[in-house]
Amino acid sequence: MKTFYRYTCWPNRYQEPYLVVKRDDTIALYNEILINYGHNKITFVENLRFHEYEFVLAGNLFAFDVPHSPSKYHDQHVRSRQSKNWWAKVYYLDYLYKESKTRSNVMKLCSNVNPY
């Protein structure tokens, strides 16, 4: 059994996986414009993808998430999909996309994925 599986393309532009990244001062950071709730994991993963990071799926381990009560920010996010964070995500992803055109090893989206 393989202990990991290497991604060859990214399956979903709006993927919010749990990530384990090496602590390093050079790693791309969360976009600090995004506050409270919504779109921060999406833009973080896209930032890593556009900066030529590789992704692997761990095969022989498990992790769990402790659920918590929805916050008022979650409720606001669900009620209004076009929140400040939504617009910040749109502009930031557009910036990342344009900036990444000069890079050769950006992980492409899988062929069956709508790019927007």
Question: Would you say residue 114 lies in a domain?
Answer: no
**Distant-in-sequence, close-in-space partners of 15: CB < 8 Å, separation ≥ 6:** 42, 45
Q: The pTM is what?
A: 0.77
Question: Would you say residue 108 lies in a domain?
Answer: no
| Residue 115 pLDDT > 70 | no
Question: Would you say residue 116 lies in a domain?
Answer: no
Q: Of 2, 49, 35, 37, which Cα lies nearest the Cα of 17?
A: 49
Task: Express as a percent the part of the chain with pLDDT over 90.
Answer: 0
Question: What is the b/e burial string over 72-82, where b = at least 16 CB atoms within 10 angstroms of the residue's CB?
Answer: eeeeebeeeee
Full residue range of the structural domain in which residue 65 is found: 4-100
Q: What is the pLDDT of residues 46-101, one digit of tens each?
A: 888 888 888 888 877 788 888 878 787 777 777 776 677 788 888 888 988 888 88
Question: Would you say residue 66 lies in a domain?
Answer: yes
Question: Would you say residue 36 lies in a domain?
Answer: yes
Q: What's the distance, CA 114 to chain centroid?
A: 16
How many domains does the chain contain in total? 1
Residue with tokens 């990530």: 19
pLDDT band at 13 (very low <50, low <70, confident <90, very high): confident
Q: Of 35, 42, 32, 31, which Cα lies nearest the Cα of 73?
A: 35
pLDDT at 1: 65
Average pLDDT for the chain: 81
